[in-house]
């Protein structure tokens, strides 16, 4: 039986045929691989890397020649890498790579702010990671991270010693390193990694804190340390309490200022390359795949780098998780990151715990979303099992589609943060919120909501904040109760599938049941926890009780030795055991730890903002925990 097609279908047939033809002719996704420095320790290893890369059919290599502020190449500015101690004195890994790997393009991979990660800092006083260097990053208590013990590093979620992005001396040194490298080696590009702060608890140095306080009348160490997209959304919608809205506004201002310190180095490197690099030399960066978290926690505003054209290529490191998470990250990046068409996006994919079939699925999503290529981490892992070629062929099987028009043609572009402070207006706050929400900003009455948040903050800055600070500064306060906790943590990303999240919650509950049955916490943590508690016998740093925090209220009701229910957090699931609780002591507010000051100020500000303006008796109650 034959059927006659409708006029509409006949009209669509040429378009469908064209679509199929374009898809069939679409080029395969390009492939690259990172090569870590531990695979470059000898001439034989370098030769093996180049042979493997060619046999696998890779298009490009990103080779780590500056891992810990040192050099796997000849340099007069950076010390020779310690991992080359047993290699011949004249061995130059980068020079041999350029010879043996030709004609593969090689991008020089440099870690930017990460200086040292060993058990002890370098003894060489000329090493950039030596504790005596003027640019070592400090934490929010003013302590240099180079003085941390191994335990303190794990508790502080920091890999090792970092340079302070706000240090002009370090920026000048790093730019000089880039200039020297480009003058001596014909690399295809400069690839920057660790171009960020290590986490939200770092960067509030005395100098930056004083500058922020001078402009805003509020020390950034009194602000919430951790913001995420969920809290920023609650702030925008006005569902937070008044004090939290005011403090979140100020914290957003601070995050923007901090991000400006990181972007300043990138801008200086870009300028140096424009002046001294051969035409066509690529500047690229490896970045965290969640733009909101990268900006709020690490000062890495890479969406703005793309919008401004500060980089030629970005490599979001979507290494981990099942296809739901990796695919979700790649799609959101493509949908919410406006950039010039000339900027290439490479999907950073990780084979650890996966097989080539999953890498093929991830690469297919990247190709559909307009990514230029897939970069695999790392070549050393690929050669183990199965052979590297299988992984590369799986990634290359994807087709590279053109980037979506909605991305390249978008008009709302986030601008990079300024490294100096200026009072933000409505447009500046909109720019900050765009980055804080990863580009996915709700359009419904956005400007009206932002105007209200600005108005609230401006009024508090002129009245409630100085009033509250004045009342606290002159008196003695009672510190909040101190909770000593241990715990088990299971990680769950917001983009994980419901089944994966349920699995992680169930595993946390299983760990809880083992603790209730009397198993030793250290043994359960070692087997089942997924953060530093795994290697810390489950122990957590002490924390001050926050009476305005619902989770803290529940924990404070536990008796020593009791175990909490499984609790949801922004990035997973916890169960806690209360080890001890210590009553708060009395001392002057100026002498209190910053963690305690932050809680006391928030409580007092909450009272101030909620009191009637003319009620003198209420005014006296703002000194809730202060004694004459």
Contacts of 285 (CB under 8 A, 6+ apart): 191, 192, 193, 195, 266, 302, 305, 311, 313, 314, 315
- 615: pLDDT strictly greater than 80: no
Q: Show me where the domains of the chain are located.
A: 11-408, 480-584
Give pLDDT tens digits for 126-177.
999 999 999 999 998 889 999 999 889 988 889 999 999 999 999 999 999 9
Helix (H, G, I), strand (E, B) or coil at 342: coil
Helix (H, G, I), strand (E, B) or coil at 2: coil
**Average of per-residue pLDDT across 101-121:** 95
- Please choose, from the candidates 287, 348, 292, 286, the residue with its C-alpha nearest in 3D space to the C-alpha of residue 321: 348
- 21: pLDDT strictly greater than 70: no
- What local confidence, expressed as pLDDT, does residue 347 receive? 98
- 620: pLDDT strictly greater than 50: no
- Residue 458, token pair as written in the block: 């401006």
Bridge partners of 114, per DSSP, are: 162
- 551: pLDDT strictly greater than 50: yes
Cβ pair 480, 585 in contact under 8 A: no
The DSSP symbol for 71 reads B
| Start-to-end CA span in the chain (Å) | 98
Report the C-alpha gap between 136 and 299 in whole angstroms: 17
Q: Quick one: residue 376, left, alpha or beta (phi over 0 = left, psi -120 to 50 = alpha)?
A: beta
- What local confidence, expressed as pLDDT, does residue 20 receive? 38
- Residue 616, token pair as written in the block: 């003198």
426-454: b (≥16 Cβ within 10 Å) or e: eebbbbbbbbbbbbebeeeeeeebbeebb
Question: If 0-12 CB within 10 Å is exposed, 13-18 middle and 19+ buried, where does residue 335 land?
Answer: middle
Cβ pair 625, 600 in contact under 8 A: yes
Residue holding tokens 């969406």?
A: 303
The DSSP symbol for 231 reads H
* Percent of the chain residues topping a pLDDT of 90: 79
- What local confidence, expressed as pLDDT, does residue 82 receive? 94
Cβ pair 159, 114 in contact under 8 A: yes
- 9: pLDDT strictly greater than 80: no
- Strands (DSSP E) along 215-343, which ranges? 282-287, 313-316
Domain 480-584 indexed as CATH 3.30.70.360: no
* Entry pTM: 0.92
Neighbours of 191 (CB within 10 A): 27
- What local confidence, expressed as pLDDT, does residue 12 receive? 34
- Residue 448, token pair as written in the block: 């009206």
User: CA 229, 115, 121, 132 torsion: positive or negative?
Assistant: negative
Which helix H or strand E contains 150, and what residues bound it?
helix 150-155
Cβ pair 72, 64 in contact under 8 A: yes
Cβ pair 316, 348 in contact under 8 A: yes
- Half-sphere exposure (Cβ direction) of 378: Cα atoms closer than 13 Å: 13
Report the C-alpha gap between 105 and 60 in whole angstroms: 5
- 212: pLDDT strictly greater than 60: yes
Question: If 0-12 CB within 10 Å is exposed, 13-18 middle and 19+ buried, where does residue 296 land?
Answer: buried
Report the C-alpha gap between 566 and 510 in whole angstroms: 10
Which range, of 94-108, 281-295, 411-425, 441-455, averages the lowest pLDDT? 411-425
- Residue 236, token pair as written in the block: 């925008």
Helix (H, G, I), strand (E, B) or coil at 90: coil
Q: How confident is the model at residue 214 (pLDDT cuts 50, 70, 90)?
A: confident
- Residue 383, token pair as written in the block: 């050669």
Greater pLDDT, 618 or 265: 265
Peptide linkage before 378 cis (omega within 30 of 0): yes
- 596: pLDDT strictly greater than 90: yes
Give pLDDT tens digits for 69-87.
999 999 999 999 999 999 9
Helix (H, G, I), strand (E, B) or coil at 78: coil
- What local confidence, expressed as pLDDT, does residue 412 receive? 60
Q: What is the mean pLDDT of the chain?
A: 90
Cβ pair 465, 217 in contact under 8 A: yes
Give pLDDT tens digits for 478-500.
999 999 999 999 999 999 999 99
- What local confidence, expressed as pLDDT, does residue 338 receive? 82
- What local confidence, expressed as pLDDT, does residue 405 receive? 54
Contacts of 430 (CB under 8 A, 6+ apart): 441, 446, 447, 450
- Please choose, from the candidates 294, 291, 251, 626, the residue with its C-alpha nearest in 3D space to the C-alpha of residue 471: 626
Q: Where are the alpha helices (DSSP H) in 337-445?
A: 356-368, 379-382, 388-396, 405-408, 426-436
CATH topology of domain 11-408: TIM Barrel (3.20.20)
- 287: pLDDT strictly greater than 60: yes
Question: If 0-12 CB within 10 Å is exposed, 13-18 middle and 19+ buried, where does residue 342 land?
Answer: exposed
Backbone angles phi, psi at 584, to 5 degrees: -75, 140
Max CA pair span of the chain: 98
Angle, nearest 10°, between helix axes 168-184 and 242-276?
Answer: 30
- 194: pLDDT strictly greater than 80: yes
**Average of per-residue pLDDT across 175-181:** 98
- What local confidence, expressed as pLDDT, does residue 613 receive? 60
Greater pLDDT, 217 or 496: 496
Computed on alpha carbons and rounded to an integer, the radius of gyration of the chain in Å comes to 27
Neighbours of 280 (CB within 10 A): 8
Report the C-alpha gap between 95 and 138 in whole angstroms: 36
Backbone angles phi, psi at 322, to 5 degrees: -75, 180
């Amino acid at each position: 039986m034959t059927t006659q097609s409708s006029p509409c279908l006949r009209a669509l047939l040429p378009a469908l045929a064209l679509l199929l033809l374009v898809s069939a002719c679409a080029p395969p996704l390009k492939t690259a691989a990172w090569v870590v420095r531990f695979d470059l320790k000898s001439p034989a290893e370098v030769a093996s890397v180049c042979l493997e890369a060619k046999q696998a059919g890779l298009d490009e290599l990103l080779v780590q020649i500056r891992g810990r502020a040192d050099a796997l190449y000849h340099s007069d500015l950076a010390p020779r890498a310690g991992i080359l101690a047993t290699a011949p004195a004249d061995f130059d890994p980068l020079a041999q790579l350029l010879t043996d790997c030709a004609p593969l393009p090689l991008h020089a991979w440099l870690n930017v702010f990460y200086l040292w990660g060993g058990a002890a800092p370098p003894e060489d006083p000329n090493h950039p990671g030596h504790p005596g260097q003027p640019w070592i990053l400090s934490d929010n208590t003013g302590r240099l991270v180079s003085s941390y013990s191994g335990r303190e590093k794990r508790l502080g979620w920091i890999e090792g010693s970092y340079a302070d992005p706000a240090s002009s001396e370090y920026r000048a040194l790093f730019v000089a390193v880039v200039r020297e490298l480009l003058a001596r080696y014909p690399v295809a590009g400069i690839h920057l990694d660790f171009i960020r702060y290590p986490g939200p608890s770092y960067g509030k140095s005395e100098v930056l804190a004083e500058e922020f306080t001078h402009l805003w009348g509020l020390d950034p160490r009194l602000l919430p340390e951790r913001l995420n997209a969920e809290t920023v959304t609650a702030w925008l919608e006005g569902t937070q309490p008044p004090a939290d809205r005011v403090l979140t506004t100020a914290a957003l201002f601070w995050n923007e200022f901090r991000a400006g310190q990181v972007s300043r180095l990138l801008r200086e490197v870009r300028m140096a390359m424009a002046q001294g690099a051969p035409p066509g030399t690529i500047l690229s960066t490896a970045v965290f795949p969640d733009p909101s978290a990268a900006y709020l926690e690490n000062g890495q505003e890479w969406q703005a780098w793309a919008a401004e054209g500060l980089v030629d290529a970005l490599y979001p490191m979507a290494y981990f998780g099942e296809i739901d998470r990796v695919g979700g990250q790649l799609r959101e990046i493509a949908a919410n990151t406006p950039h010039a068409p000339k900027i290439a996006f490479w999907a950073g994919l990780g084979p650890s715990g996966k097989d080539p079939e999953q890498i093929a699925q991830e690469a297919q999503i990247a190709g559909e979303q307009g990514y230029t290529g897939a970069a695999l981490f790392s070549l050393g892992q690929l050669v183990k099992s199965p052979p590297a070629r299988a992984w590369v062929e799986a990634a290359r099987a994807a087709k590279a589609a053109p980037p979506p028009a909605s991305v390249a043609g978008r008009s709302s572009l986030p601008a990079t943060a300024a490294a100096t402070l200026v009072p933000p207006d409505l447009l500046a706050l909109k720019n900050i919120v765009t980055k804080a929400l990863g580009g996915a900003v709700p359009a419904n009455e956005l400007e009206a909501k932002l105007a209200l948040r600005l108005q609230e903050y401006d009024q508090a800055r002129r009245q409630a904040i100085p009033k509250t600070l004045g009342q606290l500064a002159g008196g003695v306060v009672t510190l909040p109760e101190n909770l000593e906790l241990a715990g088990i943590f299971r990680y769950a990303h917001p983009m994980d599938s419901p089944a994966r999240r349920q699995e992680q919650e169930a595993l946390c509950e299983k760990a809880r049941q083992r603790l209730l049955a009397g198993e030793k916490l250290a043994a359960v943590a070692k087997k089942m926890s997924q953060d530093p508690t795994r290697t810390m016998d489950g122990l957590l740093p002490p924390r001050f009780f926050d009476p305005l925090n619902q989770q803290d209220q529940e924990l404070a009701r536990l008796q020593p030795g009791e175990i909490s229910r499984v609790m949801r957090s922004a990035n997973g699931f916890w169960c806690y055991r209360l080890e001890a609780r210590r009553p708060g002591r009395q001392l002057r507010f100026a002498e209190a730890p910053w963690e305690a000051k932050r809680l006391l100020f928030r409580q007092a500000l909450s009272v101030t903002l909620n009191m009637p303006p003319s009620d003198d008796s209420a005014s006296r109650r703002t000194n809730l925990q202060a004694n004459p």
